Chain A
Amino acid sequence: MSATTLHPLAAAYLQRLREAARVLPRTERRDLLMEIEAHLQEATTIGASESEVLEVLDRLGDPQEIVDANMTDLRAAPGDVPGSARAGAHEYIAIVLLLVGGFFVGIGWVVGLVLLWSSSVWSTREKWLGTLVIPGGLAIPAAPALIALTATAKRCTSVNPGSFAAHCTTVSGPGLAVPVIVLLALLVLAALAAAAYLVRKAR
């Protein structure tokens, strides 16, 4: 925006407001600053005298008072402000489903995702984190690990059709190379860390 067209007194006022508004959530702060800047531009024409500008600023009121009013209005508004709402069953179910919902043919994870995005306690950035770290949750690293484990089974075969003696061997499945195991472990850790982060942010 063109703060340069503002009278120096109006620009200084806007700067004081910008500092006072640091306590507000980002979208609120941006909205408020944009509206007040537009107000100042509308109210003070380019050749406005100092006393005219002071009159406009006086009518607008103290920046701190405006920010305080904004905080009061935020509390009165329906809870769609990140950080102001409290976590409930909705949020905890979302986190659990994001982690293990993938085991139920993936549907559980999708439900978790819907709950994540419909919650009001997380910011958009946190929601993206929950979505991308990691899609499918623990089911993704667990699936190859499970396949490898079940494929590694004891197999017994009768040596001789007439005897009860059996010859047992351990048959290895495809197995997992060490780098793959490390990668899977990292995925598990990433998923757990993301879940822990979401829990912390929800409080």
Chain B
Amino acid sequence: MVVIRETAISQLRRGALEFCVLALLSDGERYSFEIVTALGERDGLVTSEGTLYPLLSRLRKEGSVETTWRESVAGPPRRYYRLTPTGRALLQAFASEWVRFRDSVDTLLATGAQK
């Protein structure tokens, strides 16, 4: 029971997570550490922050984000991420699909047992 739940949830989480990254960038650029900790602070979204770095690398390769390295005042250089037009389009498409998906699941979860 617990095992089934964890697999399903972790798959859902992985699928939605990349759009959470895109959403986080929708109002401007952020550097990797900011993105990772911002998502890590959300309840139930990320189990290990480190796994977000490979995700960021994939988004880069898929062309939904682009990056620039910049020196920081103190500490290591920072890699800044921003949305590409492709990324923005993907985010918009996901956002409307997600609302339909979520509403259907919510409806079924609330009323499914009675109908």
Residues of B45-65 contacting chain A, CB below 8 A: 47-51, 53-58, 61-62
Whether A37 pairs with B50 at a CB distance below 8 angstroms is no
Report whether A43 and B33 are in contact in the complex, using a CB–CB cutoff of 8 Å.
yes
Number of A-B contacts (CB under 8 A): 79
Task: Name A141-195 residues within 8 Å CB distance of B.
Answer: none
Interface size on B, residues (CB 8 A): 23
Q: List residues of chain A with CB within 8 A of the CB of B37.
A: 43
**Beta-carbon contact of A39 and B32 below 8 Å:** yes
A31 near B51: Cβ-Cβ < 8 Å: no
B:1-46 near A, CB below 8 Å: 32-33, 36-37, 40
A62 beta carbon closer than 8 Å to chain B: yes
B48 partner residues in chain A, CB cutoff 8 A: 59-62, 65-66
B50, B58, B77: the one contacting A60 at CB < 8 Å is B50
Selecting from A74-82, A93-101, A106-114, A130-138, the interface stretch reads A74-82
CA–CA, A39 and B76, complex, Å: 9
Chain A: interface residue total (CB-CB under 8 A): 29
Minimum CB distance partner of A66 in chain B: B50
A residues contacting B by CB (< 8 A) are 1-2, 28, 31-32, 35-39, 41-43, 59-63, 65-66, 69-70, 72-74, 76-78, 80
Residues of B within 8 A of A (CB): 32-33, 36-37, 40, 47-51, 53-58, 61-62, 75-79
Given contact pairs A35-B53, A35-B56, A63-B50, a sample of 11 additional A-B residue pairs in the complex whose CB atoms are under 8 Å apart: A28-B54, A31-B57, A32-B54, A37-B76, A38-B77, A42-B75, A61-B50, A65-B51, A66-B53, A72-B54, A77-B61
